[in-house]
């Protein structure tokens, strides 16, 4: 395994000779072994402990343990710290070991896969880890590709083979690869054995060429590009991505193939793309780290105060009692006694942050994750796919999301393409009209077109306009040429299992839909070879000679084929994006272009995906010259792609327009409602996609129509839609500036003639822009976001300008963006807005975005599982996102916040009693409670009730969480647990500790037992304080619990019962007989709790501690209720009304029904309405919740947060008010 981890210097080029391991080993290329595990048997313990003690909390508790081992300063036994510390370390180590075991298992499974390698002219079985660069491998059908291979030959004609790349790029469509013609005949082992470098020639010591040698680009992560040259038989042959089989692919529908290993192991493109997943932490985790540091500072301050008190007491008072209370041998002064006392109190008071806090947090998060996994309402019956929480550390962050970044195709849409409409020679087909000439809706349409004339038609294909089929049957030349182009210009593969049963394997659903449409209209693509395409045109088989394929890429945005028909005529067919193709048409097509452009706009307005079709006739002489230039460009060692693009550009000009296609990609079920609900929750949704802006606008228009005015993501009523398409930094900056100026101009005068300042400080600009009147949308092109080679919006000096403009808009759409740009947009919002972001997608191109966002969600859809594997949460449909956030996310945030508030409260109440006691025990570091109570307090007595609250608590039922999306806002504003709430919790804890100590202390000073003896003694006082504490914190958690279950009752009252059981057991004769040195105070608990004075003291302490909390909550509920309080109140009113209604139904009555209304009508909502508390009208009504409390304080805090999170450049101006 050492080879797996070995690092190699960067390469400038890769040289690989076939069947020559000795030569290839000189370059020290990486082996094919992979290693993703972290530990082995020897390194696990030291490395894992080292990693765990990098956590501040673990190091802190280890430090305390060391202090407790020093007898001069420790008043607590070492097991009070070592037991929970070892428990935490063990649990974490077991978890890490389990994870690494599965990584080892996965690595071994992959590395030990068998592969057939050609060695010394014989095929031998070799493990994957032993495969080397330059080896020739034989693959068989359905086998994984072991390394990045150059395809040499296959069982299919002309060296073709079919692969599935779902694990590589997420696409499930079949892809075709082809060996170069010169090697496609090397299907025999004897021939492959001679494919070596035995015929190398040199001149003057300089290598001229070598047989069977490949020189290519160094290892990189570009999945769709490869550039190299094969030297063989004194010739050079260009190599491209079409000749490569990449590791992670699966061979399909091909009996066998042979390949030459070019890249192995970590050098393969699959491994080059598997970047490390960023460790994600929640905002609560980050806040906790800060609070722990503050608490530690507070702990040090208390220790210093008590240490100073000890030094003063020992100097002034203690010296008088040296006979009775001598100092230890090591103590020679009051100052040194104070120094030791400081460390003793650090040990005693450390329970303000117990280690059980971290264990409890992980248990609660694990419970929340299981709730997501078990949620039947997020289970997709169609795909039999449940929701899955792939991480347990981010659940509460789901309740704080402010920005969602979504892919479109396959995420918002179904990624199932249907040929819907087309434009041919200026006429649009696809709409159906009634007798009055009105466009018929889908439900009003007649029967679909009958394709029975075509025995090869796809029976699943539906089309509604019969005029198109009539044009085909009548032999319209333009219509025939249109479908001829669709049947020829593609890379689809055809398979015919039975006579007439065709199966198309397309690289994209769009391409498959177009070829299927041509098939049904009589132009059936039947088969292909590397040099020919066979099409059945209206029943006649015609074979075209395929001269060239000018393939599609993201820069060209078009695809062309050059074919020669049986008459010898050469024609170029091209299809591509309208923005590209319309500029390459012959000037004679201008009139047709205008008509087609109108059709394109109409199609885009309906949410359809459009392509333009064109052709060009080529003469033989011109084609020969062009083909020679293309060959020279393909052989170039440098700038090969640029040279080929230039050659392609030349031939794809002055084309003749044929028409356009329109394909429908429908929205997924529930997408409009989900977008509406999330928008009402004040979550901003940005769409990042590769589609063009016209399509995205129409998509969101359709969405807005479906969900009504409740979610106007992009509508005709918007004030303006800004489209940014600049290619230079000046163009982009100018377009963004104009957009901001228009938004400011529309809001320049706001009420009573108040005018905005002409110049605003940059720190306030974002908050002002976000408050502008009107609704705007921003659509920005990928060119304008490009930040690698040119200066555009994501360059440093443009980031704020883009962000300020985007955040002021209702909808933001980023079109034609690359995976890298998706991640950059997410990172931009994370950096400057300080908001929680969520990215959701379904394809491999969404992985970088998913990994960059605070929370990544993968949809298991049509494009493989790459997005799911990189995600934190996964499910099968976009609509489940509303439940993930508004129910599980909000509840997780609520539960975690209530858990933390209560945990800090109960531990400060517990620990601060030691601080007050220090002033009455000579600052001697004596504890109030016995050491067993200290050990068990957080582990047994109070652990389960707070866990139950943290796992099961609810403020409102799940139906109300979905019905009132405004309930989500407190999480976005971080209202439930922040620094202010933390200080309130510790203040309540300190207040409780004061009463907990001084009430029993005051009572015990004068109280007597039933027999008249003095009640006060140390053990009785300890039992009274401990019992008061357990009862008070139990009552407090009862007040904090909003949703009672049988588990809550069992844990709370069970913990009280366990406390008393253990208390009486530790003071029993039985334990004293077994451990006389440990349990000396026999009968103390029984005697103390038998005194009425003690119980009156406990009751008084409990009442005085709890009553202020009850009073405060009562007043808050009536004077300043939260939205959740209002929802609960209306829910109770409705339940009461229903109960009264049922009672009224049971009452029998006779007499006239003339006054039935007066007698049957229940008590109305008049008083409730006048009080302003009846806010449960509808989701939309609550979205504008404006009672005297809820809306005002939420909006006030939102403005404050917006100001603090705006541009960091700063400014002294106060925020402007409208």
User: Residue 422: which of 663, 665, 584 has the closest Cα?
Assistant: 663
What's the CA gap between 185 and 706, in Å, rounded? 58
Residue burial 1085-1094, b: 16+ Cβ < 10 Å; e: rest: bebbbebebb
Check: CB of residue 156 under 8 Å from CB of residue 280. Answer: no
The structure tokens listed for 1128 are 């609960």
CA distance 1169 to 1171: 5
Tell me the C-alpha distance between 719 and 744, whole Å.
12
What is the crossing angle of helices 979-1006 and 890-918, to 10°?
40
* CB neighbour burial string for 867-889, b if at least 16 within 10 angstroms, e if fewer: bbbbbbbbbbbbbbbbbbbbbbb
Q: Both tokens of residue 116?
A: 């057939």
825 close to 839: Cβ distance less than 8 angstroms: no
**Catalytic option among 20, 107, 148, 407:** 407
* CA dist 666 → 608, 663, 761, 1031 (Å): 9, 10, 45, 60
421 Cβ partners below 8 Å, 6+ apart? 428, 429, 430, 431, 603, 608, 661, 662
Task: Give the span between the Cα atoms of 1176 and 967, in whole angstroms.
Answer: 12
Among candidates 1026, 1042, 1054, 1044, which has minimal Cα distance to 944? 1054
Question: Which of 641-652 are b and which e, b meaning 16 or more Cβ less than 10 Å from the residue's Cβ?
Answer: eebbbebbeebb
Residue 214, strand partner residues? 16, 230
**Residues 401 and 889: beta-carbon distance below 8 Å:** yes
Does the active-site annotation cover 842? no
Q: Tokens 């491209």 sit at which residue?
A: 240
CA angle 452, 456, 457 (to 5 degrees): 55
Rounded to a whole number, what is the distance in angstroms from the first to the last CA of the chain? Answer: 67
Instruction: Using DSSP, state whether 560 is helix, strand or coil.
Output: strand
- Cα 465–chain centre separation: 43
Pairwise CA distance, residues 168 & 864, whole Å? 9
What letter would DSSP give residue 415?
E
Angle of helix 56-68 versus helix 283-316 axis, rounded to 10: 20
Q: How far apart are alpha carbons 847 and 660 in whole angstroms?
A: 33
CA distances from residue 62 to 68, 74, 81, 832, 939 in whole angstroms, order as listed: 10, 14, 8, 38, 18
CA–CA dist 865, 581 (Å, integer): 34
Distance CA 488, CA 115 (A): 38
Torsion angle of the four alpha carbons 731, 733, 736, 738, in this order, in degrees rounded to the nearest 10: -80
Q: Which whole-number Å values give the CA distances from 1109 to 853, 1039, 1098, 1105, in the listed order?
A: 40, 9, 17, 8
CA distance 1058 to 84: 19
Helix (H) or strand (E) holding 216: strand 213-216
Active-site annotation, residues = 407
């Amino acid at each position: 395994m050492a080879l797996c981890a070995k690092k190699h210097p960067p390469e400038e080029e890769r040289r690989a000779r076939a069947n020559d391991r000795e030569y290839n080993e000189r370059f020290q290329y990486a082996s094919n072994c992979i290693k993703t595990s972290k530990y082995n048997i020897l390194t696990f313990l030291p490395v894992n402990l080292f990693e765990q003690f990098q956590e501040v909390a673990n190091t802190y508790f280890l430090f305390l343990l060391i202090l407790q081992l020093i007898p001069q300063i420790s008043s607590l036994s070492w097991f009070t710290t070592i037991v929970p510390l070892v428990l935490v370390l063990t649990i974490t180590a077991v978890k890490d070991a389990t994870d690494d075991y599965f990584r080892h298992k996965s690595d071994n499974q992959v590395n030990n896969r068998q592969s057939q390698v050609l060695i010394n002219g014989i095929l031998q079985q070799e493990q994957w880890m032993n495969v080397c660069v330059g080896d020739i491998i034989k693959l068989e059908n359905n086998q994984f590709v072991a390394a990045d291979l150059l395809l040499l030959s296959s069982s299919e004609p002309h060296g073709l083979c079919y692969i599935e790349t779902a694990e590589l790029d997420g696409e499930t469509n079949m892809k075709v690869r082809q060996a170069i013609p010169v090697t496609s005949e090397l299907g025999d082992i004897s021939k492959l054995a001679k494919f070596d470098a035995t015929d190398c020639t040199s001149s003057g010591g300089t290598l001229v060429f070598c047989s069977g040698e490949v020189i290519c680009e160094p290892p990189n992560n570009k999945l769709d590009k490869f550039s190299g040259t094969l030297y063989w038989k004194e010739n050079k042959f260009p190599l491209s991505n079409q000749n490569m089989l990449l590791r992670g692919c699966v061979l399909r529908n091909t009996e066998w193939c042979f390949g030459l290993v070019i890249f192995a192991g970590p050098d393969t493109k699959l491994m080059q793309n598997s970047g490390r997943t960023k460790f994600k932490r929640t905002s609560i985790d980050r806040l906790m780290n800060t609070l722990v540091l503050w608490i530690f500072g507070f702990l040090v301050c208390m220790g210093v105060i008590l240490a100073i008190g000890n030094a003063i007491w020992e100097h002034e008072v203690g010296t008088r009692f040296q006979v009775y209370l001598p100092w230890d041998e090591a103590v020679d002064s009051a100052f040194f006694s104070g120094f030791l006392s400081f460390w003793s109190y650090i040990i005693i008071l450390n329970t303000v942050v117990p280690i059980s806090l971290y264990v409890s947090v992980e248990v609660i998060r694990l419970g929340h994750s299981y709730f997501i996994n078990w949620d039947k309402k997020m289970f997709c019956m169609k795909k039999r796919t449940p929701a899955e929480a792939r991480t347990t550390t981010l659940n509460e962050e789901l309740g704080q999301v402010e920005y969602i970044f979504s892919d479109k195709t396959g995420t918002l849409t179904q990624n199932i393409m249907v040929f819907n409409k087309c434009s041919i020679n200026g006429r649009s087909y696809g709409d159906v009209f009634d007798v009055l000439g009105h466009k018929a809706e889908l439900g009003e349409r007649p029967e679909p077109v009958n394709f029975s004339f075509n025995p090869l038609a796809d029976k699943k294909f539906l089309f509604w306009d019969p005029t198109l089929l009539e044009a085909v049957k009548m032999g319209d030349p333009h219509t025939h040429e249109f479908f001829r182009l669709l049947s020829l210009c593609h890379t689809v593969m055809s398979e015919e299992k039975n006579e007439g049963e065709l199966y198309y394997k397309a690289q994209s659903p769009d391409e498959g839909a177009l070829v299927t449409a041509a098939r049904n209209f009589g132009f059936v693509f039947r088969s292909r070879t590397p040099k020919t395409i066979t099409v059945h045109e209206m029943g006649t088989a015609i074979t075209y000679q395929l001269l060239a394929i000018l393939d599609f890429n993201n820069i060209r945005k078009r695809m062309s084929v050059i074919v020669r028909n049986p008459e010898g005529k050469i024609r170029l067919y091209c299809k591509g994006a309208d923005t590209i193709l319309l500029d390459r048409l012959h000037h004679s097509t201008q009139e047709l272009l205008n008509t087609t452009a109108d059709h394109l706009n109409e199609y885009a307005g309906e949410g359809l995906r459009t392509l333009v079709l064109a052709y060009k006739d080529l003469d033989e002489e011109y084609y020969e010259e062009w083909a020679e230039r293309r060959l020279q460009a393909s052989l170039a060692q440098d700038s090969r792609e640029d040279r080929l693009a230039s050659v392609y550009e030349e031939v794809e000009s002055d084309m003749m327009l044929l028409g356009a296609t329109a394909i429908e990609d429908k929205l997924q079920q529930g997408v409009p409602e989900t977008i509406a609900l999330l928008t009402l929750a004040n979550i901003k949704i940005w769409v990042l996609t590769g589609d063009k802006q016209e399509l995205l606008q129409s998509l969101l228009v359709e969405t807005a129509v479906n969900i009504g005015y409740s979610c106007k993501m992009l509508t005709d009523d918007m004030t303006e839609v800004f489209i940014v398409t600049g290619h230079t930094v000046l163009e982009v900056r100018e377009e963004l500036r104009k957009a901001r100026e228009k938004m400011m101009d529309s809001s320049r005068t706001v009420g009573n003639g108040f005018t905005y300042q002409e110049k605003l400080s940059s720190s306030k600009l974002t908050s002002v822009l976000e408050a502008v009147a009107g609704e705007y949308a921003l659509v920005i092109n990928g060119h304008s976001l490009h930040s690698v080679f040119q200066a555009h919006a994501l360059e440093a000096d443009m980031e704020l300008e883009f962000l300020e403009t985007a955040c002021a808009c209702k909808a933001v759409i980023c079109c034609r963006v690359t995976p890298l740009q998706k991640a950059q947009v997410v990172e931009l919002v994370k950096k400057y807005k300080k908001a929680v972001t969520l990215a959701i997608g379904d394809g491999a191109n969404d992985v970088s975005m998913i990994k960059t966002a605070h929370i990544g969600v993968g949809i298991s859809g049509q494009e493989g599982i790459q997005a799911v594997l990189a995600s934190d949460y996964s499910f099968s449909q976009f609509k489940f996102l509303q439940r993930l956030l508004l129910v599980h996310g909000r509840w997780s945030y609520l539960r975690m916040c209530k858990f933390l508030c209560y945990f800090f409260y109960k531990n400060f109440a517990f620990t601060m009693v030691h601080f007050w006691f220090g002033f009455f025990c000579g600052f001697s570091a004596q504890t109030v409670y016995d050491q067993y109570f200290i050990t068990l307090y957080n582990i047994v007595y109070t652990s389960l009730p707070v866990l139950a609250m943290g796992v099961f608590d609810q403020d409102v039922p799940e139906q109300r969480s979905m019905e009132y999306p405004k309930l989500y806002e407190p999480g976005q504003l971080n209202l439930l647990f922040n620094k202010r709430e933390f200080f309130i919790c510790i203040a309540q804890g300190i207040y409780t500790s004061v009463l907990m100590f001084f009430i029993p202390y005051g009572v015990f000073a004068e109280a007597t037992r039933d027999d008249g003896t003095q009640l006060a003694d140390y053990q009785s006082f300890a039992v009274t304080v401990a019992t008061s504490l357990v009862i008070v914190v139990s009552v407090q958690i009862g007040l904090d619990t909003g949703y009672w279950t049988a588990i809550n009752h069992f844990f709370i009252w069970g913990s009280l019962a366990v406390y008393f059981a253990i208390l009486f057991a530790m003071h029993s004769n039985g334990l004293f007989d077994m451990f006389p040195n440990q349990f000396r105070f026999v009968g103390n608990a029984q005697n103390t709790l038998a005194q009425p004075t003690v119980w009156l003291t406990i009751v008084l302490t409990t009442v005085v501690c709890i009553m202020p909390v009850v009073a405060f909550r009562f007043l808050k509920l009536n004077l300043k209720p939260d939205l959740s309080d209002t929802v609960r109140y209306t829910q109770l009113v409705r339940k009461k009304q229903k109960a009264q209604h049922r009672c009224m139904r049971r009452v029998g009555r006779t007499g006239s029904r003339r006054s039935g209304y007066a007698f049957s009508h229940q008590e109305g909502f008049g008083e409730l309405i006048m009080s302003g508390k009846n806010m449960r009208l509808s989701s939309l009504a609550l979205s504008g919740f404006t009672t005297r409390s809820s809306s005002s304080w939420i909006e006030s805090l939102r403005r404050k947060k917006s100001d603090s999170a705006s541009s960091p450049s700063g400014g002294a101006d106060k925020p402007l008010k409208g």
